[in-house]
A and B are shown apart, each in its own frame.
Chain A
Amino acid sequence: MFGWEFPPFNQGGLGTACEGLVKGLTDKGVEVILVLPVLLESTITNCKIVSPNYRIIRISSSLRAYHTPESYYKEYNNSRFNKLYGENLISEVLRYAESLTEIVLEEEFDIIHAHDWLTYKAGLNAKRLSGKPLVVHMHATEFDRTGGYSINQTVYEIEKEGMMQADNVIAVSNFTKNKIVDNYNIDPNKINVIHNGVKFTDTTEIKIFHKPRSTVLFLGRLTMQKGPDHFIHAAKKVLEYCPDATFIIAGNGDMEGRLVEQVAAWNLADKILFTGWLRGKDIDRAYLMADLYVMPSVSEPFGITPLEAMRNNVPVIISKQSGVSEIIKHCIKVDFWDINDTASKIISILEHQELKKELSFNGKSEVLNLGWDIPAEKCFEVYKSLVKIAAVKW
């Protein structure tokens, strides 16, 4: 299995999804060899995530999940550590793909599974070397990442080549499947929709130091795709009605500066707070502080965070333009562009305890049935359709 990031060193839901799927599969008795490129900064922690059933093989590289060719170049220039590698993200992708020959020849495996475009070249290379079937897993398309504007043609072509050459394509939602069919012209019969799951963690030990009244949380990258600008506009509207509410924006990204400036210009810097990027326990802490979680994504192939919020008894408002809205019912669904509707519903949830209680209680029950065992089982069905896996006890 080819991945690119893994918790706790992940930038977003892709690492979380990869971890969940690997755990789900190994729980079913599937042996997973996870091949990851890892930033030099994160080398020490690898041993923590290696488990008896799967191991992580590192190849030094600067590949990260949410790099664009432009941001890679920026980081490359700023990096204190690393001048050994290619100056260009695409050449890095190719270098990663080509450096795998040894692993592919040494390891024994029945199937190749590659997550998102960064690893598709690697997957194709492994397929060519081994002759084993390839599954490519679409967690996001270039159209989601860019909002449909300024599509990087090379990335698009790598995605398309990966899906064309693969024996099977897994899409994280029907929303994504439709995009793949429409924009990449892939045969719909070759695509399986497997919705992500959510991991259950124990948060009883986690302490919150101060919980402001009526806290509304945004958690995600501050990029156009995630709709943080819609969030602050809705926040402004809500604050006209509920001046006591607090809005927390957890995450970073290329829109951060602009958002902070806008909030300051409105003179709402004490009501709309920015935390920067959170990881580990701080993420759970953010959920525990929240009375409501809002995911106003413009285009969200899946969206694991609402499930994490529901797991923490937090009611959620999610964008209809998301994969996760296909599998959850006990939530409020809005059009991301409808600021009035979103703001009105935020106010209702903050004002009516009985609504908040029903949403959080029913949401929690719903999400308890959305563990990783089901996606893992569906994924294994896909494998089985491609090869006979005699050795695995089911």
Chain B
Amino acid sequence: MVSICFYFQVHQPFRLQKFQIFDIGSNKTYFDDHKNKAIIEKVAHKCYLPANKLMLELLNRHPSFKISFSFSGVFLDQLELYYPEVLESFKVLIKTGQVEVLAETYYHSLSFLYSQEEFTEQIKLHANKIKELFGVTPTVFRNTELIYNNALAKKVEELGFKAVLMEGWDPILEWRSPNFVYKPVNCNIPLLLKNYKLSDDVAFRFSNKDWSEHPLSVEKYASWINGINGNGDTVNLFMDYETFGEHQWESTGIFEFMRHLPEALLQHKDNNFKFPSEVVQFHPKRGELDVHDPISWADVERDSSAWLGNDMQKSAISKLYELEQEIKESGDQKLLEDWRKLQTSDHYYYMCTKWFNDGDVHKYFNPYDSPYEGFIYFMNIYKDLKYRLHQLKEINEVRDETTDLKA
């Protein structure tokens, strides 16, 4: 019996403007509304709207078909701002009862690595948003870019979640298979491991003509999954939702592939579809995993170096988190929100220099000409944020003094 578990990540950052030194103190907005709106619209037309239409069709046609989504809070904010119709189409999907929504940090942040307090607050903000929009409460957690280690598992267990998602990375698994439920060495929360081979066959390799399995037919793919029966409990297919229509264009046949996949998988009577929360209820934990240094689902290295690999990235993020207490003490909601939007992992991804030479995935949606510009604009904005913070403190001090005088 193999449980097939689909999880789609849906996220878009609030991209930053080209913010010059001379803009500091000018009240210029940090976020490029025009570009962000244009990207939401473009991806909506290529992916979100047609993919949601397809998913609804599949959920209606196959009552046992199930999928799960994780939406970043900043993605949902942008749908509300720029394209409410897309948000409605997600609501329709969730109303079918055949869709589970996962928990994550509201700002798609790396906060777990920098501030436990902020991490916890963002998860709560996110859960509230999901409840407000979709009327459901997430019980399974996935961290930004599937960043994971023992400490994360423990923290998430303490917060009361029923399961955590992680990358099924060979150096961690060694001889073991990703097609079982595991637990961390230091606590008991169940772990769902991404089968990166089968996931990436669809997400990355589907249209690659140099791939020996190209073109990938539904029958061939279903036969690989059927083959797991007898030596696995679950197959976790985790990927960006933008796989449909955006990473893999419609012309590659990706929509047709997905349209026929549930039917093909259901032909094997031992296959079934499960939510992440059901997989961990249904299947026992088969082993322990010990992960010290954080792993992720990104790049060949599967570490955090895409966001925190060079000195620009490390410096930018640590300077931002240095402001945490002051920002929170200021009590200024607008300042706090801007500070949080700057935590979105994409800003640091744009500063990555390690594959700038090859110009591969990191070029994807990169709003700047180079990682250096990504850093420059971020730091100018950071300085403006700091400037605003200090302005505010001065005002507050004057106010305090006046109150003292009155007293």
Contact = CB atoms under 8 A, between A and B. Distances in A.
A358 B20 contact: no
Nearest to B371: A358
Contacts of B379: 348, 352, 355
A359 B376 CA distance: 12
A358 B380 CA distance: 18
Nearest to B19: A344
A366 B353 CA distance: 12
B357 A357 contact: no
Given A241-B21, A352-B375, A355-B372, A344 B357 contact: no
B329 interface: no
Interface stretch (B175-183, B186-194, B280-288, B310-318): B310-318
Most chain B Cβ neighbours within 10 Å, of A333, A347, A352, A366: A352
Interface in A337-384: 340-341, 343-345, 347-348, 352, 354-355, 357-359, 362, 366
Contacts of A241: 21
B311 A357 contact: yes
Contact of B380 (A332, A348, A354): A348
A23 interface: no
B254 to A, nearest CB: 31
A349 to B, nearest CB: 8
A358 B315 contact: no
Contacts of A352: 312, 315, 375-376, 379
A329 interface: yes
Contacts, number: 65
A358 B376 contact: no
A340 B20 CA distance: 8
Given A329-B357, A330-B353, A355 B375 contact: yes
Interface in B294-322: 310-312, 314-315
A345 B376 contact: yes
Interface in B37-94: none
A333 B369 contact: yes
A182 to B, nearest CB: 25
Contacts of B387: none
A345 B369 CA distance: 13
A331 B376 CA distance: 12
Interface residues of A, number: 22
B370 interface: yes
B224 interface: no
A358 B312 contact: yes
Contacts of A359: 372
Given A344-B380, A354-B311, A362-B353, A332 B21 contact: no
B157 interface: no
Contact of A347 (B18, B21, B312, B375): B21
A333 B18 CA distance: 14
A331 B371 CA distance: 10
A340 B18 CA distance: 12
Most chain B Cβ neighbours within 10 Å, of A237, A344, A357: A344
Contacts of B356: 329-330, 362
A344 B20 contact: yes
Contacts of A354: 310-312, 314-315, 375
Interface string B351-384: 0010011010000000001111101100110000
B327 to A, nearest CB: 21
Most chain B Cβ neighbours within 10 Å, of A332, A333, A341, A358: A358
Nearest to A359: B372
Contacts of A355: 312, 372, 375-376, 379
Contacts of B315: 352, 354
Contacts of A330: 353, 356, 370, 372
Interface string B18-46: 10111000000000000000000000000
Given A340-B20, A344-B21, A348-B379, A358 B369 contact: no
B353 A341 contact: no
A213 B279 CA distance: 62
A319 to B, nearest CB: 13
Most chain A Cβ neighbours within 10 Å, of B21, B311, B359, B380: B21
Nearest to B313: A354
B91 to A, nearest CB: 43
Contacts of B359: 329
A348 B353 CA distance: 17
Most chain B Cβ neighbours within 10 Å, of A348, A359, A362: A348
Contacts of B372: 330-332, 355, 358-359
B30 to A, nearest CB: 15
Interface in A209-265: 237, 241
A343 B310 CA distance: 25
Interface in A300-330: 329-330
Contacts of B375: 348, 352, 354-355, 358
B20 A329 contact: no
Contacts of B312: 352, 354-355, 358
A354 to B, nearest CB: 4
20 contacts: A237-B22, A241-B21, A329-B356, A329-B357, A330-B353, A330-B370, A331-B370, A340-B20, A341-B18, A344-B21, A345-B376, A348-B375, A348-B379, A348-B380, A352-B376, A354-B375, A358-B375, A362-B353, A362-B356, A366-B357
Given A330-B370, A352-B375, A358-B311, 18 more contacts: A237-B22, A330-B353, A330-B372, A331-B372, A332-B373, A333-B369, A341-B20, A344-B380, A345-B373, A347-B21, A348-B376, A354-B375, A355-B375, A355-B379, A357-B311, A358-B371, A362-B353, A362-B356
User: Which 4 A/B pairs are nearest by Cβ-Cβ distance?
Assistant: A344-B20, A354-B311, A344-B21, A348-B376
Interface of B: 18, 20-22, 310-312, 314-315, 353, 356-357, 359, 369-373, 375-376, 379-380
